[in-house]
C-alpha cells in the first residue's frame, strides 16, 4: 500500500479541528447534570454579556414524574433550592425569583408548597466591570435541594455556565427566551387596582384577608390560595378558604400553632386559577400588609362605594391638563398653526363649517390617542419594554415623519399640489376632502405630540400603563380631550373668532410662512435620526429626501391637467417609485448606540456617567449624592430643561459643592433597563429627574419643567456634608 503523506496530514488536521470545535462548543453550552430524580442545568438568557451589565440566569430543573421540589416557604417541612456561587470573578447574583407554587397535601395533617415537572428558578446577575471583551467567563454554583415523592432525598449538583464577554450589544439565547418569558409570566406582581386589607379575629387565631377591586365584575373563582412567604405563619394543612362577595375576595386562614406571638404582618403570594386581571392572564399577586396600622375591613367598606376613587379623579384632571399643555409644545405647533389658519379662512363665510371642522379635528386627536394607547398596551402585554413616545425610538418612523414634514412644507410653499394625498391632507378644508384633512391634521398633531411629555402628563401616563386596559384607555382619552379642547371650543363658539384677524390676501403669505416651522421640524427630525442611526443612516435619509424632491419635481413639472393619460400614469408611477424607494432606503437604517459607554463631558462642561442600575446602586452604596437625567434626543422638553438648567453656573457649582455624581439615562433608542427604571417611579416617558442622597429617606423626583430656582431649592434640602468628594 502506498502511503500518501499529504492525505494523512489533512485527515489528522480535520480530526483535530473537529475535536477543538467540539471542545469549544462544549465550553460555551452548559451540560446538564443528571441526578437520580432530576436533571439540572445552569442556563442564561444571554449568549454574550457586557462588563458591568445585568443579565438573567437560572437553574432549570426537570423532575422525575411524581417527584417535587419546594417553594421558598416549603410549608410544614422541606427545604427550598439553595445556590452557592464559587466562580473566580466577582459576579453579583441576586435572590431567586420564585414563580407561584402548587399546594401539596402530604397527608398526616401536613402540607407543602412546591413544583412538579419542569421549572426554572431565575436570578438576576451583574457582570464585573473589569471583564475583558473577547474573553470567556465561567459561572460555577453548587445547587442543594430536597426532592420528594413518598420519601425525601437531599441532592446536590455542581453547575457551570460559560459565557463570552463583548463590548457590543449582547446576543440572546433564542432557545431559552421562551422559557424565561414563561417563568416571568408566573412571577407574582403588584396590581394597583386591587386593594388589600387584613384583620385578625378577636380570638387571635383567624386571619381574614380581603382583596377588592372596582375595575371589573368578579367571576365565580374556582381556586384562590394564599402562600405565605415565611414559614410558621399559618396552618399550611388547612387549605385557605375563600369566598367572593360583590367586588371582594375574602380569604380565611388559620394562624400557625407554632407561632407564639401575635400576627403583625400578612406577607405572601395569592394565587387565582382564573386570574386577577380581566383577561385572566395574571395568576399571582403579592400582598404585604402591616396589621399594626392597617384599617379594618369594616372601616374600608365606605371607601369602595364610589365607582371612581378620588385618586382616579385627580389622575384624570392631570391627564386633561397635560393634554391642554401639549398644545404649547414646540413639536405640536407646526400642525396646529395650519389648523388655526384654516379656522381663520372659514370664519368669514361659514361658521357651521368651522364648528364641523373643529369637532372632526378633535375626533382625529381622540381616536389617535386611543389607537396609540391600545398599540402601546398591546405590545406591553406581549412582553415588550416600551414607553410613551416609543414610535420615536424607531428610525423608520422618524424617516416617515421627516418625509411628511418636508413634503408638507413644500406643499404649503406652493411648489406642488396633490389634492387629497397624504402630503397635504392636513392643509385642505372647506369641503368633504377638507373634513378628511381636519381629521388627519388631528392625527398628525397627536403623532407629533407624543414625545412631548408635558407637565402633569407624565404622572397620568405612568399610572395608566399599570391599570386595566379600559381604565388606561380612559386616561389616554382624557389626554386627547385636553389637547383637542381649545379647538373644539373655538369652533363651537364662532363669536370667539372675532378676536382673530379677518381673512384676506395676506392669507397666502401666511400659508407660505407656515412652511418654515415644518422645515424646522424636519431639521429637528433629521438631527434625531442622525443621533439614532449614525452618519451612515443620516446619509441614507438625505438620499431618501433627494429622491422625494425628484418625485415632487416630476409631479410639478408634468401637471396632471397638461399631459395625456398615458404620460400621467407613467410620471406618477415613476414619482411613486422614487418616494417609496427613498423611504425604504432611509428606513433600512438600524439604530446605533446613542450614548458613550464611558464617562464623558457635555457641552455645558458637566461630566455624565451612562445609566445602568448597577452604577446607581454602587454609588448609593458608597454614600454619594446622585442626579439622574432621564432624557432622549427627540424630547424637546428635555433639551429645553438641559439648556436652562446646566447653563447656570450657580446650579453647576452647587452640584459640584455637594459632590453629585451626574448620571444620564439616554432613552433615545429602546432600552429595557431604562424603561424599567422609569416604571419604578410610576412614569412611562421622559423627562424625569431623580435625586438620590443618603440625607433623604426617599429619592426626590423633580418637576418635568425645571428652572434654576427649582433645582437650587431641591439641592438646598441636602446638607453639605464634609468629606464628600466633588465629581469632575
Domain residue spans in the chain? 28-161, 195-304, 311-587, 600-715
Largest pairwise CA distance in the chain: 110
SS3 of residue 190 by DSSP: coil
Topology annotation, domain 28-161? Immunoglobulin-like (2.60.40)
Q: Phi-psi bin for 275: left (phi > 0), alpha (psi -120 to 50), beta?
A: left
Rounded Cα–Cα distance for residues 114 and 68 (Å): 6
pTM: 0.44
Rounded Cα–Cα distance for residues 199 and 209 (Å): 7
Q: Strands, E, within 260-400: which ranges?
A: 265-272, 284-290
- Strands ordered across the beta sheet of 248-254: 195-200, 206-212, 248-254, 241-245
The DSSP bridge pattern shows strands 600-601 and 607-610 to be antiparallel
Rounded Cα–Cα distance for residues 341 and 354 (Å): 11
Query: How many other CB atoms are there within 10 angstroms of residue 653's CB atom?
Result: 11
Class of domain 600-715: alpha beta
Task: Report DSSP state, residue 496.
Answer: G
Radius of gyration of the chain (CA): 31
- Residue 552 CA: distances (Å) to CA of 520, 567, 573: 19, 16, 12
The per-residue pLDDT for 211 is 94
pLDDT digits over 181-225, tens only? 889 889 998 888 899 999 888 788 889 999 999 888 898 899 999
Task: Report DSSP state, residue 394.
Answer: -
Q: Measuring CA to CA, which residue among 139, 85, 94 is closest to residue 121?
A: 94
In this structure, what is the dihedral angle of CA atoms 651, 656, 661, 663, given to the nearest 10 degrees?
30
CATH of region 195-304? 2.60.40
Q: Which three cell numbers stand for residue 533?
A: 442611526
Rounded Cα–Cα distance for residues 246 and 152 (Å): 43
- Quick check: do 28-161 and 600-715 share a fold? no
Q: Measuring CA to CA, which residue among 157, 197, 437, 425 is closest to residue 295?
A: 197
Using an 8 Å Cβ cutoff, are 575 and 421 in contact?
no
Burial of 423 (0-12, 13-18, 19+ CB in 10 A): buried
Rounded Cα–Cα distance for residues 617 and 615 (Å): 6
Which residues of the chain are under the pLDDT cut of 50? Answer: 1-29, 294-310, 330, 383-390, 418-433, 451-456, 458-459, 462, 466, 594-596, 722-728
Q: Which residues contact 717 (CB under 8 A, 6 or more apart)?
A: 695, 696, 700
Q: Which residue has the cell 473577547?
A: 134
Rounded Cα–Cα distance for residues 49 and 164 (Å): 6
Q: Measuring CA to CA, which residue among 67, 10, 60 is closest to residue 39?
A: 60
Rounded Cα–Cα distance for residues 349 and 347 (Å): 6
Rounded Cα–Cα distance for residues 347 and 352 (Å): 9
Q: Which three cell numbers stand for residue 91?
A: 459576579
Query: How many other CB atoms are there within 10 angstroms of residue 527's CB atom?
Result: 14
Which residues are paired to 142 by β-bridges?
Answer: 84, 158
Task: Report DSSP state, residue 240.
Answer: P
The per-residue pLDDT for 40 is 95
Q: Measuring CA to CA, which residue among 212, 219, 242 is closest to residue 305?
A: 212
Rounded Cα–Cα distance for residues 632 and 611 (Å): 13
Q: Which residues contact 168 (CB under 8 A, 6 or more apart)?
A: 48, 50
Using an 8 Å Cβ cutoff, are 221 and 243 in contact?
no
Run of H or E including 138: strand 136-148
What sign does the CA torsion over 482, 488, 493, 497 have?
A: positive
- Residue 546 CA: distances (Å) to CA of 57, 185, 268, 406: 48, 47, 61, 11
Query: How many other CB atoms are there within 10 angstroms of residue 491's CB atom?
Result: 27
Run of H or E including 253: strand 248-254
Using an 8 Å Cβ cutoff, are 181 and 64 in contact?
no
* Measured distance between the N- and C-terminal CA atoms of the chain, rounded to whole angstroms: 78
Amino acid at each position: 500500500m502506498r502511503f500518501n503523506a499529504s492525505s494523512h496530514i489533512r485527515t489528522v488536521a480535520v480530526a483535530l479541528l473537529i475535536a477543538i470545535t467540539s471542545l469549544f462548543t462544549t465550553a460555551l453550552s452548559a451540560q446538564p447534570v443528571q441526578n437520580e430524580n432530576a436533571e439540572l442545568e445552569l442556563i442564561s438568557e444571554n449568549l454574550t454579556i457586557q462588563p458591568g451589565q445585568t443579565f438573567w440566569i437560572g437553574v432549570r430543573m426537570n423532575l422525575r414524574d411524581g417527584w417535587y421540589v419546594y417553594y421558598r416557604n416549603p410549608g410544614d417541612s422541606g427545604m427550598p433550592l439553595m445556590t452557592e456561587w464559587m466562580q473566580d470573578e466577582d459576579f453579583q447574583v441576586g435572590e431567586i425569583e420564585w414563580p407561584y407554587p402548587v399546594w401539596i397535601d402530604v397527608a398526616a395533617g401536613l402540607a407543602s408548597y412546591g413544583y412538579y415537572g419542569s421549572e426554572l428558578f431565575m436570578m438576576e446577575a451583574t457582570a464585573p466591570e473589569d471583564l475583558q471583551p473577547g474573553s470567556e467567563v465561567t459561572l460555577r454554583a453548587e445547587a442543594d435541594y430536597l426532592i420528594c415523592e413518598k420519601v425525601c432525598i437531599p441532592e446536590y449538583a455542581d453547575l457551570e455556565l460559560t459565557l463570552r464577554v463583548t463590548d457590543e450589544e449582547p446576543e440572546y439565547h433564542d432557545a431559552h427566551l421562551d422559557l424565561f418569558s414563561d417563568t416571568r409570566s408566573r412571577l407574582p406582581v403588584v396590581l394597583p387596582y386591587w386593594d388589600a386589607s387584613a384583620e385578625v379575629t378577636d380570638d387571635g387565631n383567624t386571619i381574614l384577608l380581603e382583596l377588592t377591586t372596582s375595575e371589573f365584575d368578579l367571576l365565580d373563582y374556582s381556586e384562590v390560595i394564599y402562600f405565605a412567604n415565611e414559614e410558621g405563619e399559618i396552618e399550611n394543612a388547612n387549605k385557605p378558604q375563600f369566598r367572593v362577595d360583590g367586588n371582594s375576595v375574602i380569604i380565611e386562614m388559620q394562624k400557625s400553632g407554632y407561632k407564639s406571638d401575635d400576627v403583625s404582618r400578612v406577607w405572601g403570594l395569592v394565587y387565582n386559577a382564573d386570574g386577577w386581571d380581566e383577561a385572566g392572564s395574571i395568576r399571582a399577586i403579592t400582598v404585604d400588609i402591616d396589621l399594626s396600622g392597617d384599617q379594618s375591613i369594616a372601616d374600608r367598606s365606605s371607601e369602595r362605594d364610589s365607582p371612581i376613587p378620588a385618586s382616579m379623579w385627580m389622575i384624570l384632571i392631570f391627564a386633561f391638563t397635560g393634554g391642554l399643555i401639549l398644545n404649547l409644545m414646540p413639536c405640536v405647533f407646526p400642525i396646529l398653526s395650519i389648523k388655526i389658519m384654516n379656522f381663520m379662512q372659514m370664519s368669514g363665510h361659514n361658521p357651521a363649517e368651522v364648528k364641523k371642522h373643529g369637532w372632526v379635528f378633535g375626533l382625529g386627536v381622540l381616536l389617535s390617542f386611543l389607537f396609540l394607547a391600545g398599540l402601546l398596551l398591546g405590545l406591553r402585554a406581549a412582553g415588550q419594554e416600551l414607553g410613551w413616545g416609543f414610535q420615536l425610538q424607531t428610525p423608520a418612523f422618524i424617516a416617515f415623519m421627516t418625509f411628511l414634514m418636508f413634503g408638507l412644507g413644500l406643499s404649503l410653499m406652493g411648489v406642488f399640489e396633490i389634492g387629497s394625498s397624504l402630503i397635504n391632507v392636513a392643509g385642505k378644508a372647506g369641503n368633504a376632502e377638507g373634513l378628511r384633512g381636519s381629521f388627519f391634521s388631528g392625527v398628525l398633531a397627536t403623532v407629533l405630540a407624543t414625545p412631548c411629555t408635558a407637565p402633569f402628563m407624565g404622572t397620568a401616563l405612568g399610572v395608566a400603563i399599570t391599570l386595566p386596559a379600559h381604565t388606561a384607555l380612559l386616561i389616554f382619552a382624557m389626554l386627547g380631550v385636553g389637547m383637542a379642547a381649545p379647538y373644539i371650543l373655538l369652533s363651537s363658539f364662532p363669536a370667539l373668532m372675532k378676536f382673530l384677524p379677518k381673512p384676506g390676501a395676506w392669507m397666502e403669505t401666511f400659508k407660505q410662512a407656515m412652511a418654515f416651522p415644518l422645515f424646522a421640524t424636519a431639521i429637528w427630525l433629521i438631527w434625531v435620526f442622525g443621533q439614532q442611526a449614525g452618519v451612515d443612516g443620516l446619509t441614507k435619509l438625505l438620499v431618501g429626501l433627494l429622491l422625494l424632491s425628484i418625485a415632487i419635481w416630476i409631479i410639478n413639472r408634468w401637471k396632471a391637467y397638461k399631459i395625456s393619460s398615458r404620460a400621467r400614469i407613467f410620471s406618477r408611477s415613476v414619482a411613486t417609485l422614487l418616494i417609496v424607494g427613498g423611504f425604504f432606503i432611509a428606513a433600512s437604517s438600524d439604530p446605533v448606540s446613542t450614548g458613550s459607554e464611558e464617562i464623558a463631558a457635555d457641552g455645558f462642561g458637566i461630566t455624565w456617567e451612562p445609566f445602568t442600575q448597577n452604577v446607581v446602586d454602587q454609588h448609593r452604596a458608597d454614600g454619594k449624592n446622585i442626579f439622574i437625567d432621564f432624557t432622549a434626543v427627540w424630547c424637546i422638553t428635555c433639551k429645553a430643561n438641559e439648556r436652562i438648567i446646566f447653563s447656570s453656573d450657580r446650579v453647576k457649582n452647587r452640584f459640584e459643592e455637594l459632590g453629585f455624581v451626574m448620571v444620564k439615562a439616554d432613552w433615545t433608542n429602546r432600552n429595557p433597563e431604562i424603561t424599567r427604571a422609569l416604571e419604578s417611579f410610576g412614569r412611562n416617558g421622559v423627562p424625569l429627574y431623580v435625586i438620590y442622597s443618603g440625607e433623604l429617606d426617599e429619592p426626590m423626583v423633580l418637576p418635568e419643567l425645571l428652572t434654576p430656582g427649582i433645582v437650587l431649592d431641591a439641592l438646598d434640602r441636602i446638607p453639605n456634608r464634609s468629606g464628600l468628594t466633588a465629581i469632575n
